[in-house]
Amino acid sequence: MAYTEDSDVKIFDPSKKDDSPNDVMSYVEGMAHHRQNGNVDKAKELGVEMALAIYDEDQSSKLSDEIFLSAEIFPQLCALMLFSTEAAFNYYLPSPQLSAIAANAFHEVMSRSNLPVYDEIMAGPEFSFYFLSVRKGGEHTAEDIGKVFAMLCKHKDDQKFIDEGTRLYLMTLNEIQQKITDMKFEN
């Protein structure tokens, strides 16, 4: 079946980009505020700590079954953890600027790490699948993330994989939300 009708396709038009001087000033003022109250340094620290935690903790203790550490599944486990960490930054930090700072620090440490699948994950489609689940929204987002995890692991309808993906996503969100609360970011 060929699709020829594309009226719903939106093409980015740079001439319509809204970068009014007020928006730019608001951004600059927000960054100055976050620098002055220490939030920028806290966001960088959070990103670095979350990256280092991936190596410092015994990952097997977080898993419900050793199968998730197998060579076939481990890259998908890593992709889920990377996505969940970045999602938590976006959900719980007080501004998009701080989320970007934390994510940049996180990925900087991860890119220099010994995690052999990091570059593969960043170049692969996994984040897109997870992002689509989050964009869809609704009360079943965590379960949708679990279903994506199971699909990417080639265990599409396997409830054990769906449950593990859902659990790890929620656990990561909760851990990072608590860490952000403990760090006492200013608004």
The per-residue pLDDT for range 70-82, each reduced to its tens digit, is 888 988 998 999 9
pLDDT at 5: 52
The Cα 5–Cα 109 span in angstroms is 45
Q: Is the pLDDT of residue 41 over 80?
A: yes
Which residue would you say has higher pLDDT here, 55 or 183? 183
Q: Which of 176, 164, 186, 155 is nearest to 60 (CA)?
A: 164
Q: Is the pLDDT of residue 134 over 60?
A: yes
The Cα 110–Cα 83 span in angstroms is 13
Q: 3-state DSSP: the chain helix, strand, coil percent, rounded to 5?
A: 70, 0, 30
Query: Which band of pLDDT confidence, cut at 50, 70 and 90, is reported for residue 2?
Result: very low
Mean pLDDT of the chain: 84
Which of 11-25, 79-93, 121-135 has the least mean pLDDT?
11-25
Give the pTM: 0.81
pLDDT at 70: 82
The per-residue pLDDT for range 83-105, each reduced to its tens digit, is 999 999 999 999 999 999 999 99
Six-digit token pair at 45? 């620290």
